[in-house]
Amino acid sequence: MSSLVLGKKVPDFRLPATGDQEIRLADLKGTHVVLYFYPKDSTPGCTLEGQDFRDQHAKFKRLNTVILGVSRDSLAAHAKFKDKQNFPFELLSDGEETLCRRFDVIKEKNMYGKKVLGIERSTFLIDAAGVLRAEWRKVKVPGHVDEVLAAVKALGKS
């Protein structure tokens, strides 16, 4: 269960990321962070969502905002996905589901009539001070990135 509350500080986290990096929330202090969780690299919905974030990336950057994608896929799968789609942002590998569980995005899903645990497409907006400002759960891809961008604009530049 999530221990995260809107309006409260998000505890620091550290995860391996594409570009042979380790990303830590504390290192991003002073910038807004869009953390989007998606089920699986190179699948139709996840590809569209990533492309939408890619296509709006410059607008987010002008608003002092970093975009980070998170799934349980390996760094190798992430690197391939990122390169193929020309994503200008990093993808975090959460194979042990540490961050997924902290944000409470692991949910029971129905896959071909079988119940499985997977990531429920969700996005979180963390402000420059590390405070959780918005969350979107059970995300439908069309129009979602525009909603997130509007929420970032509402925060203003810091």
Catalytic residue ranges: 46
**Residue 154 has which token pair?**
């509402």
Torsion angle of alpha carbons 123, 127, 131, 137, nearest 10°? Answer: -10
| Torsions phi, psi for 40 (to 5 deg) | -160, 135
**Residue 8 has which token pair?**
């409260």
H helical segments located in 26-141: 44-62, 75-85, 98-102
Q: Helix (H) and strand (E) counts for the chain? A: 4, 9
Distance CA(22)–CA(93), nearest Å, equals: 10
